[in-house]
Structure 1
Amino acid sequence: MAGSTIGTNFKITTWGESHGSGIGVVIDGCPAGLSLCEEDIQTYLNRRKPGQSAFSTPRKEDDAVHILSGVFEGRTTGTPISLIVVNENQHSKDYREIASYYRPGHADFTFDAKYGFRDYRGGGRSSGRETIGRVAAGAVAAKILKELGIEILTYSKSIGPITIDETRFDAAEITKNPLYMPDADAAAKAASYLEECKAMQNSAGGIIECVITGVPAGIGDPVFEKIDANLAKAIFSIGAVKGFEIGDGFAVAAATGLTNNDAFVTDENGSVTKETNHAGGILGGMSDGSPIVFRAAIKPTPSIASTQKTINKNGEEIEINIKGRHDPIIVPRAVVVVESMAAITIFDAMLSNMSARMDGIKDFYQK
C-alpha cells in the first residue's frame, strides 16, 4: 500500500490497523536537540482518545505512547523517531458480520475494488484510529513550532446546525466542554442536539476551525508547493474531512475585488500588515504574516444503528443495522487531528524555506 507518508523535509509515515497489535508513526527530519518525552506526546493523544464523554465511542483505550527510537537522555538525536501505541481493547468479533457486505459511508467497497481483499475489523487502515500516528507526530511538530513562537488554536466552530457566536468567543472555554467549542452557550445547545441524534440512532457532522499565529511572511512556494495547497492535502487526508476552505473560503464567490482585497498598512512598529484578513493569511501560496485561518468540514459518523440499505458481496440488496462502538460525532476528537496535520505541514514548509535565500544560507554556514 502506497500513500502512508507525507512531508518533504519533516516527513511522517503512519502504520498499523484499528484492530491490529498497535498503531504508530515514524518521523524523519526532526532536528536534533529538541527536548522531548512521552508526556509531551501523550498530552496530544489524550485529546483524541476514545471513551472521554457521552459523545465519543465507549471503546476504552489508554492510547499510551512509547518512544522506540530517536530520543536519548530526553533529547532528539536527529535520527528517525519511532512511536507506538498498543491496541488493548479490540472487539474484533463486533465486525465479523460486515465482512460479507459494504457499509454505507465507509471504504469497504473501495478497498475490495482496489485490493480484492480488506481488513474488515473496524475499517483497518481507513479507521479513525489511524490518526493516532498523525497526532503523535503533530505533537512533536507543534512543540518545535512553539519554540519558534508559532501557536495553533483549533476548535469546533459548528456542530450540526449549531454555530458558535463570535461575540461570545472564549478560547479558555474550548477545553472546558467535551465538544471543544469556544462558546459555552453553543456547546450546551450542540450537546442537546447530539442527544436527539443519539435517540434517533443517528449521527452528526460539523466544522473545525484552525487559527495559526506567528508564521512569518514568505513560508510556502508560489506554484505546486503552495502552503494552502499543502494544508488542503494534509487536512483532506483525514478520513472524515469532506470540505476545506482558507480565509473567507467559498464566500469569496459572492464578493467583489473591493470587498475581498486586504489593504496593506504599516503597524506601530513600521512593519507591513493588513487591515483585514479575507485571504486567511496566505497570498500566492505563501504566508503573508497574518494569522493563517482555515476550516474543515467533518462528515457525520457513517456507522449508525439505524437501518440502512446496502449490497452484499453477492450483489444482493439487503438492510443492515451496524453493531459496535462508534462515535455519534467525530468532530470533537478530530480537532486535535486537524491541529496536528497543520503543525506537520507548517513546520515542513519552514524547513524548506531555509534554503530560499542566499543570505540565509550564508548566515547559517558562515557565522
Structure 2
Amino acid sequence: MPIHLERSDDGYVFRLGVRAGIGGQETARLPIQQRMNDSPHPVLKEIHSCEVAGRTLEAANQFALREKVAMLLDSIAPARTLPLAYFRVPEMDYELPVYEEDGEIVSPVLSGPKLKAPDLAGIRRAVCNYLISAGYVEEPEQVTVGVLRPRDLRLVEPAAVFRSQVDSDMWLPTVEGISSEGPVIGVLASAARLGEPERPRRGVGPLAQDAAPAAPDVMTLLRLLRAELAPRLDLEGIAGLYASEIRSEIWDAVEARSEEAGTRLVAYLTDDEGTRLELAVRRTATGEVCAALADTGINAFLADSESTLATLVGRHLYASGFLRFAEEIEVHAAEAPRAERLETDAIWTHDDGIAIGGPDSAGVEEPEEVHT
C-alpha cells in the first residue's frame, strides 16, 4: 500500500489509502512527531515517531519511519482490513483485535480459537468469556476496549457506549470522526479498508460508505439510533436506550448544543448520609430533555418529557442500588440564582412613603426650632 509523505501546518504527516471519517470521504493521515535525542552522546540527533493502533513507532528519519508503518499495517491488516477495536487486559499487557469478516465480527486468538459473533456485543461476550476461562481476568469489567479511529489510526476510548435498560446484552460503542458537515460521532459499524474510497457513479444512489449513522453530539445520535431500531423494538425497548461511558469532552459538546430546561431531578440516595442528588435537565434543539449523571462514567438519558426522564433515571439508580424504589425521584423547578451583590436601586424599605436622603429630601419634615 502506498504511503505518501505530506507537509501540513503542524509539520509532516503520512497520507494513507485508508477510508477515514464518517462516511469514508476523508483520507487517513498519521501525524509525525519530531524530538531531539536526550542521550548525552547520541548517534541520532533527532527521532521521528508516530502512533499506529496504539503502538508508537520510532526511526531516525521520516523515510525509515514510513517503512516501519508499512510493515505494521501489513501485520495488523492481513486481509487489508484494519481492526475495528482491541479488547485489552491492561494488567497483563494483553490484547485481542476485532475484525469484520464476511458479515461477521471475528477475533483471532494466536494459537487458540477464532472467536466469532454476529455483532460487537456478541464478540465482546465471547472475548470476555475466553479471557476469563484463560485466567487473564476474573470478571468482564476488567477488560477494556479501544476503538481504532479511522482518521489517524489512533487507539482511543469509545466516545460513548449505547446500552439498554431492557436488554442487558446490548453494547454498541461509538467513535468520533469527521463528516462533510464537520466533527460528528458515529456508531462503530464497519472497519477501515486499505484502499481508496469508491468513486461515485452517475445514476447510482448513495454508496454504502456514505450511509454511516452519525450526528454532531451523542444525544442527537441516540435519537437517530432509536429511530433506526424502532422496527425491531417495542416502545419500552426504544425508551430504554441510553448512552453510557461518555467521555467528558463528548458531554461538553452536548451542553454547548443544548440549554437549561429550568428544572431539576432530585432524589435522596440510600447511603448513610442520605445524600441529596440533584441533576440539571437540559433541552435539546429538537425539544427533548436530557440529563446526565456520573457513576463509573457519565451516563446520559433522553426523553420527551421531564416525567419520562425521571422514570429512566430512577430505573438506573434503582438498578445500581442507589435508590430503594425507582419512583423515588422528583422533578423540581430550578431555583433562581442568588444575586452576588445588590444594586442601589434594588434597596428599599417597607414604608414606601419614606425616602432616603438629606434634610431637604421630599417627604421628610425638618425638626421645629424650640426656644427656651
> TM-score interval w.r.t. the shorter chain?
under 0.3
Tell which has more relative contact order, 1 or 2 (C-alpha 8 A, sep 6+).
Answer: 1
Larger Rg: 2
Normalization by structure 2: what TM-score? 0.21
Task: Looking at secondary structure, tell me which structure has more strand per residue.
Answer: 2
Normalization by structure 1: what TM-score? 0.21
